[in-house]
């Protein structure tokens, strides 16, 4: 009995202290400056003409609680936080219940966040899971509860929550999914929308109708259980057939959200910007988006990939002179798949890896005329392991061919011989120099692009060739201002010369061999079908694996990189190879429409020599084919060119 009294006494003391501390905390929060919830975490995205193309974390029009259907309000409170009107920001009984349930299950299946806590989260730019982030969330929850009424908090929450597909706020979501105002939503429609925020990527009816419907039925069942609706209401809503609009009321671009996601990801990495929007009261983000180019890119994808096809694509349009990303798609349709392959995925790059190898070769004494023998070859490397690459369609010249010819045909044997001759580390270091950060293995097959690299990295790497040797950083954001117009961040355009402009000129001209009829011999140049479709001169390299197709090309003004493939690495049918090629061609042609050719001027240190293109030797009167090729002065070919195979064999003997 004595222990019981002692226990009650200590419980009373702890309860008193708890109440006292809470009163002190909430009183302090009350006297601190009031949070401006309508401007907090708001951001406006501008394209490169300073036109707003997105306003996030809130709708373009903040709607009042009176303008939101009672169906939405009741369902939101009942499902998300049924004690919303009775707590001060934290539902401690729910926290204890969720904690106990998670301990029993051994997993974190139950959450206990209140609407106030979730709204506090929505006031943050990022969602880092750090202790500081948690403490900030708690404090802002307390401030919200101290400064605003429950109705004001609920109104703010419903105006800022993410309903998927870039739709922030109930009004935007209602217009997007159902083409009507939030005040006119039926019970069935409201239940569908209320179910989405738990996991927008899974519960959007435009992504997975089955899962979304199951979630909607759960919301309706909770409403019935809590006696918020009648059985008749429940059955009627459950059986109501919903029709979806799935379009924005402006611009109607299904891919521009990929660009927006890339902007927000970059925003999180800019250290000059405060960690929360609360400290800035909203941001104006001026991006490099060329909306005209973005529209044309989307149209091109819709035109070239059949609607029923499951194949996916990503394309980046980049200004190589400053790194501005002008347009970007991370998939065919953001409504169906918000996964942004442009910034979040890595794929095998195939033969698009070869230009990095060949630049390194030029830097190490090779020329456009340097020759290896095109023939079936088995390579022996460390610990007597062997590697037997094959040329596409098993076509071999069985004779020495020039580097330019190897590029034209995308010769695998020539590439691996070059890679072996230089040493496997050379290509790895070359890729790092131009800005590729993905992990690359020092293996023979690296020359054929067996490593996985992100498309934005590849576009940035090719930009170094396109701008004649300067390393740039692909970026989406040009400038950031606060609500008062104070500049918080400005993109830095300092460039570092990392490659020899003479060698980039030589390489860029060799990359035109991919569509040059003068290289038709025992094989055809890989992009020969594009020769009569292009109105400008480009450097082009394609890449193909069993699961990936790439096209990357450029001139001095623009780099366009395109990938097509299946998310689950399904093999690509040969009939689908054309998708990447056509998307690339039409995109770069639209970027250059109405512009003059943007090709390169020969540097003084480079000489132009007439050669026989396949062998690379100095042309004679007897040669049917003659081609101007470029060389550093002093390295021009002669009538008899050196074949590197013999040197490679000697190197292998010296390093068994």
Instruction: Give 460-483 pLDDT, tens digit per residue.
Output: 999 999 999 999 999 999 999 887
State whether 391 and 515 are in the same domain: yes
Could you identify the residue written with the tokens 């390093």? 655
Query: How are beta strands 283-287 and 43-46 bridged, if at all?
Result: parallel
Under a CB-based contact definition with an 8 Å cutoff, are residues 565 and 548 in contact?
A: yes
**Lookup result for tokens 């097959």:** 445
Helix ranges restricted to H, 379-518? 403-409, 412-422, 424-433, 455-466, 501-510
Residue 615 contacts residue 402 (beta carbons within 8 Å): yes
Q: Give Cα 428 distance to the centre of its chain.
A: 23
Q: Average pLDDT in the 531-536 region? A: 96
292: alpha, beta or left, given left = phi > 0 and alpha = psi -120 to 50? alpha
Instruction: State the Cα–Cα distance between residues 451 and 349, nearest whole angstrom.
Output: 7
Q: What is the pLDDT of residue 315?
A: 98
Together in a domain, 541 and 437: yes
- Mean pLDDT, the chain, rounded, equals 85
Contact criterion met (CB below 8 Å) for 387 and 381: yes
Total structural domains within the chain: 2
Q: Are 436 and 341 in contact (CB under 8 A)?
A: no
- Per-residue pLDDT of 361-385, as tens digits, reads 999 999 999 999 999 988 887 777 8
Do 236 and 369 fall within a single domain?
no
Alpha-carbon gap, residue 571 to 66, rounded angstroms: 54
The alpha carbon of residue 583 and the mean position of all alpha carbons in its chain are separated, in whole angstroms, by 18
Q: Compute the Cα dihedral for 5, 9, 14, 16 and give only its sign.
A: positive
Per-residue pLDDT, averaged over 268-290, amounts to 75
Q: CATH number of the domain that 124 lies in? A: 1.10.3810.10
**How far apart are the C-alpha atoms of 314 and 554, rounded to whole Å?**
17
- Residue 105: pLDDT over 70: no
Contact 353, 561 (CB under 8 A): no
Distance (Å, rounded) from C-alpha 528 to C-alpha 512? 10
Residue 56 lies in a domain: no
Residue 467 contacts residue 556 (beta carbons within 8 Å): yes
DSSP letters, 220-264, are HHHHHHTTSS-HHHHHHHHHPPP------SSS--SSHHHHHHHHH
Q: 152-175: buried (b, 16+ CB within 10 Å) or exposed (e) per residue?
A: ebbbbbbbbbbbbbbbbbbbbbbb
pLDDT given at position 28: 46
pLDDT at residue 266 in the model: 92
Question: Per-residue pLDDT averaged across 66-93, rounded?
Answer: 83
Return the higher-pLDDT residue of 414 and 56: 414
Considering 75-79, 562-566, 568-572, 623-627, the range whose residues carry the highest mean pLDDT is 562-566
488-to-226, 275, 277, 279 alpha-carbon distances in Å: 49, 13, 13, 12
Give the model's pLDDT for residue 251: 47
Domain end marker among 252, 285, 317 = 252
Domain that holds residue 440: 347-474+491-552+595-654
Are residue 209 and residue 352 in the same domain, yes or no? no
Is 628 a member of any domain? yes
* pLDDT score, position 32: 59
Lowest-confidence range among 266-275, 354-363, 431-440? Answer: 266-275
Instruction: Confirm whether 565 is domain-assigned.
Output: no
Does 234 map to a domain? yes
Task: Give 483 or 404, the one with higher predicted confidence.
Answer: 404
User: Is 427 within 8 Å of 438 (Cβ atoms)?
Assistant: no
| pLDDT band at 41; cut points 50, 70, 90 | low
- Rounded CA-CA distance 463/465 in Å is 5
Confidence of residue 17 (pLDDT cuts 50, 70, 90): low
Same domain? For 235 and 353 the reply is no
Q: Are strands 539-544 and 496-497 parallel, antiparallel or unpaired?
A: unpaired
Number of H helices, E strands in the chain: 22, 20
Q: CA 542 to CA 561: how far, in whole Å?
A: 10
Copy the structure tokens of residue 142: 């307390």
Phi-psi region of 592 (alpha: psi -120 to 50; beta: other; left: phi over 0): alpha
Does 614 reside within a domain?
yes
289, 503 contact by CB (below 8 A): no
Residue 380 domain-assigned (yes or no):
yes
pLDDT of residue 241: 93
- Return d(Cα 656, Cα 651) in angstroms, integer: 9
Query: Of 252, 280, 306, which residue is a domain's last?
Result: 252
Please indicate, yes or no, whether residues 423 and 533 belong to a single structural domain of this protein: yes
Residue with tokens 């400008």: 536
Tokens of residue 302, six digits: 């819709």
SS3 for 573? Answer: coil
The reply to whether 317 falls in a domain is: no
Q: Which residue has the higher pLDDT, 414 or 163?
A: 414
CATH code of 619's domain: 3.40.710.10
Which residue, of 236, 252, 268, is where some domain finishes?
252
CA distance 324 to 218: 46
pTM comes to: 0.75
Enumerate the active-site residues.
80, 351
CA distance 261 to 330: 10
Same domain for 224 and 369, yes or no, is no
CB 266 within 8 A of CB 125: no
Question: How much is the CA Rg of the chain, to the nearest whole Å?
Answer: 31
Residue 231 lies in a domain: yes
Find, among 426, 43, 55, 16, the residue nearest to 248 by Cα: 55
DSSP 61: S
**Strands annotated E in 578-640:** 606-611, 627-632
* Paired strand residues for 487: 481
């Amino acid at each position: 009995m004595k222990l019981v009294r002692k226990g009650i006494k200590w419980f009373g003391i702890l309860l008193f202290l708890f109440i006292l501390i809470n009163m002190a905390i909430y009183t302090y929060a009350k006297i601190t400056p009031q949070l401006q919830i309508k401007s907090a975490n708001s951001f406006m995205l501008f394209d490169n003409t300073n036109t707003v193309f997105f306003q996030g974390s809130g709708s373009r029009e903040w709607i009042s609680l009176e303008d939101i259907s009672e169906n939405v309000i009741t369902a939101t409170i009942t499902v998300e936080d049924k004690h919303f009107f009775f707590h001060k920001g934290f539902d401690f009984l729910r926290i204890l219940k969720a904690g106990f349930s998670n301990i029993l299950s051994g997993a974190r299946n139950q959450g206990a966040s209140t609407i106030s806590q979730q709204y506090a989260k929505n006031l943050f730019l990022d969602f880092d899971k750090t202790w500081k982030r948690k403490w900030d969330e708690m404090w802002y929850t307390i401030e919200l509860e101290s400064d605003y009424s429950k109705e004001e908090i609920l109104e703010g929450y419903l105006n800022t929550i993410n309903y998927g597909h870039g739709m922030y706020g109930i009004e935007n979501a209602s217009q997007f999914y159902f083409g009507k105002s939030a005040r006119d939503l039926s019970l069935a429609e409201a239940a569908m929308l209320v179910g989405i925020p738990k996991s927008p990527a899974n519960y959007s009816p435009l992504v997975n109708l089955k899962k979304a419907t199951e979630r909607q039925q759960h919301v309706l069942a909770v409403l019935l259980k809590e006696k918020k609706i009648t059985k008749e209401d429940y059955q009627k809503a459950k059986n109501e057939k919903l029709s979806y609009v799935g379009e924005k009321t402006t611009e109607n671009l299904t891919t521009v959200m990929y660009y927006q996601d890339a902007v927000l990801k970059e925003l999180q990495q800019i250290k000059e910007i405060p960690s929360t929007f609360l400290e800035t009261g909203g941001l104006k983000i001026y991006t490099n988006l060329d909306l005209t180019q973005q529209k044309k890119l989307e149209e091109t994808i819709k035109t070239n990939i059949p609607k029923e096809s499951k194949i996916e694509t990503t394309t980046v349009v980049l200004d190589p002179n400053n790194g501005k990303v002008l347009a970007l798609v991370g998939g065919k349709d953001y409504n169906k798949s918000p996964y942004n392959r442009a910034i979040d995925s890595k794929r095998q790059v195939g033969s698009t890896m070869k230009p990095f190898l060949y630049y390194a070769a030029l830097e190490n004494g090779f020329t456009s005329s340097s020759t290896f023998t095109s023939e079936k070859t088995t390579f022996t490397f460390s610990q007597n392991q062997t590697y037997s690459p094959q040329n596409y369609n098993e076509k071999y010249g069985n004779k020495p061919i020039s580097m330019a010819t190897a590029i034209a045909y995308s010769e695998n044997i020539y590439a691996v011989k070059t890679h072996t001759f230089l040493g496997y580390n050379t290509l790895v270091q070359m890729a790092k120099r131009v800005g590729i950060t993905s992990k690359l293995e020092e293996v023979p097959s690296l020359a054929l692009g067996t490593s996985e690299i992100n498309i934005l990295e590849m576009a940035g790497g090719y930009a170094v060739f396109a701008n004649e040797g300067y390393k740039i950083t692909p970026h989406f954001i040009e400038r950031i201002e606060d609500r008062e117009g104070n500049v918080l961040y400005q993109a830095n355009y300092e460039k570092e010369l990392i490659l020899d402009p003479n060698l980039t000129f030589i390489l860029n001209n060799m990359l035109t061999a991919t569509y040059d009829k003068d290289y038709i011999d025992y094989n055809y140049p890989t992009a020969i079908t594009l020769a009569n479709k292009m109105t400008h001169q480009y450097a082009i390299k394609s890449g193909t694996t069993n699961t990936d197709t790439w096209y990357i090309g450029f001139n001095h003004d623009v780099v366009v990189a395109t990938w097509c493939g299946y998310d689950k690495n399904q093999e690509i049918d040969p009939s689908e190879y054309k998708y990447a090629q056509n998307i690339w061609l039409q995109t770069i042609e639209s970027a250059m429409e109405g512009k003059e050719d943007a090709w390169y001027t020969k540097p003084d240190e480079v000489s132009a020599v007439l050669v026989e293109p396949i062998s690379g030797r100095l042309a004679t009167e007897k040669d049917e084919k003659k081609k101007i090729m470029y060389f550093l002065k002093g390295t021009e070919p002669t009538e008899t060119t050196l074949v590197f195979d013999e040197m490679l064999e000697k190197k292998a003997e010296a390093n068994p």
